[in-house]
Structure 1
């Protein structure tokens, strides 16, 4: 076995300590804030059809997030998370993948799912936890999943998807499949132990995985400078022997280019890649959060000027692929469709109680069966406390 430790790469005879200032990580940027290209920029592989699909997904997600956040404030749903300001990160990177590449999301990547083709009705059925929800109403809102679209179901615990992505990619490698896994997470999740275990394993076993960090400045209310002292998250990839790239996360062309190149490395060379997308969460962390308590309006306005949607729109107009009439038409169409789908989903009954266990166990264990029987008896004894619009008894 070859000893890969670089103990004699550079021999010195007095102590020499290094720090992050000696590791300069460049940031890839293609589009300026005004939508024009940098003179020496290298464009991604993109045509009019792909560009318009990306932008229409931007508009759809903005409309969905606006309506669903308002619905939560009205008490129609219990919880929601927007991705306002971060749309270029997940949508632009997903656009670089093939449909059979696996997506493992954190919780703010509804744009990736929409780009893949998750229908508006499927979004609404999950958010309202009705009987048509693919997850059978077992998850809180925005915890999407779709086997058909290769989008692993989201789980609430932070960072669990990161080592799972390494494991899934290892399976792809052993099966000689020409695919990769992309794993999304925020810079706060990179403080979890799962992050370090996953990157170390991926670096050692050389598996086709893209770790995509959305560095949006805040882990809920904790700013990045209180999370870590090093040079962001990208520097950690270098430490684990992983190909690493930092990109302007509000520049969708740069994100697309970075991910296209990363996918080639992952699939063709079995090189794991870490991409750190520098972006900003313009909205609250979730509908349960008030960002005014930990950041100021001036900071937010600075980043609004770097809006990924506007920047890409200006580029599309310059190409002759977009105009204001199309903009208004698409926005209105999305608003109308979302309102209609929401009203329809609200009227669909909730899942039956038996769906608590279906597809989980072949035969439910005795203690859960006892609890299930006791719950049914309780509901039958106090039917007025459990309206038909709530969890329904099976076979009723």
Structure 2
């Protein structure tokens, strides 16, 4: 995507000329949507929070978003294939959730900090992290590998909902350090799924963030299933409405619409950095594949449901928009597909060439300055490994 900084509420000739539906004059109960499943561009819309949402991207930026979506999906598909072939121990696919992740990921400013779960491969990509980094974790050759401070993107969190507490504590520190109150301030975003909203950690994070007015955006990707549990087993009201009980605003966005995901997230982050406290975004989307590669979704959902969501595919609608507005042609789409293929093949080659770590290396980074007790354990483990030398095994 081009390095511009398009405003969420900027009024440009381009956006106006492409408007197909009138601006609503009252807040809607429907998810914020700026791009329909058919690729129809909506000029602006008023969300449940009464805020007017719109974007004004250049043609290059629109094409950049499409490129992001395609590349992220292809790399994710390659990781799934690697797991099926025994090269990864596990993989949590983002298939179907690309727009929520790319839109929110591109809405982050350089100084903002993100706390992911184990599925935010699209956000990771938008933060400039090498896509191979999480594959080392799931291949079992390292513990993740990137520097959270360098990329402003925390390590993947496997424990459901725990990262919301980490994000809340970090955001409270941002306030205490005086890094809010202006446009150059820092905001924090925490990602989690609909199932995590039933965890105590998430609700405790809501309490602390609300009470301490933390500069934090809670970004819930509601993909309709907490593994095999459907949303109706999780809540009796829309998830975004839960925010009111904790004293901060909530909003639902069409999570298959990359433009709306960007606009809503950018607005929420800017509010947070200006000292207006936390908010909750519910990105209403769908997990097209399995929860992880150890899951079989055919056991708990029907094919017709999946088909209905396929018609709302985030990449298909963006491509339809680019075609409709003559922003991109078949040559561009073919070039993007070829780039995605090249990068996925390269990723596969790099994964297969990952060196296996020496077993004793697991002691290397337990303590920053070493430990006498750990030295004893290392020595004992080394002797254990040496006992296998020369054996039939």
SS state at 1:361 partner? coil
Structure 1 position 86 matched with structure 2 position 93: no
Contact 2:217 2:272 in 1 (8 A): yes
- Counting only pairs closer than 5 Å after superposition, residues 139-288 of structure 1 correspond to structure 2 as 146-177=148-179, 178-229=185-236, 231-288=237-294
Cα distance in 2 between the residues matched to 1:384 and 1:34: 66
User: In the alignment, what sits opposite 2:32?
Assistant: 28
Contact 1:209 1:272 in 2 (8 A): yes
| TM-score with structure 1 setting the length | 0.83
Give 1:39 deviation, angstroms: 6.0
TM-aligned CA distance change 1:78 to 1:249, over 3 Å = same
Q: CA RMSD in A?
A: 2.4
- Counting only pairs closer than 5 Å after superposition, residues 304-383 of structure 1 correspond to structure 2 as 304-383=310-389
Cα distance in 1 between the residues matched to 2:210 and 2:315: 34
Cα distance in 2 between the residues matched to 1:253 and 1:370: 56
User: In the alignment, what sits opposite 1:99?
Assistant: 110
Structure 1 position 300 matched with structure 2 position 306: yes
Cα distance in 1 between the residues matched to 2:391 and 2:200: 44
Cα distance in 2 between the residues matched to 1:78 and 1:225: 31
User: In the alignment, what sits opposite 1:38?
Assistant: 42
| Residue-by-residue CA offset, 1:45-76 (whole Å, 9 max, x unaligned) | 43333333322121112111211111111111
Q: Which has the larger radius of gyration?
A: 1
Contact 1:92 1:256 in 2 (8 A): yes
Give 1:386 deviation, angstroms: 12
Give 1:126 deviation, angstroms: 4.6
SS state at 2:61 partner? helix
TM-aligned CA distance change 1:35 to 1:344, over 3 Å = same
| Residue-by-residue CA offset, 1:132-186 (whole Å, 9 max, x unaligned) | xxxxx135xxx97643211100121111111111111111112222010010000
Cα distance in 1 between the residues matched to 2:382 and 2:309: 52
| TM-score with structure 2 setting the length | 0.84
User: Any unmatched runs of 5+ in structure 2?
Assistant: 1-27, 46-52, 180-184
SS state at 2:340 partner? helix
> How many pairs align?
355
Cα distance in 1 between the residues matched to 2:326 and 2:366: 52
Contact 1:45 1:257 in 2 (8 A): no
User: Any unmatched runs of 5+ in structure 1?
Assistant: 1-23, 131-136, 388-396
Contact 1:124 1:341 in 2 (8 A): no
Cα distance in 2 between the residues matched to 1:45 and 1:97: 17
Give 1:37 deviation, angstroms: 2.1
- Counting only pairs closer than 5 Å after superposition, residues 53-72 of structure 1 correspond to structure 2 as 53-72=64-83
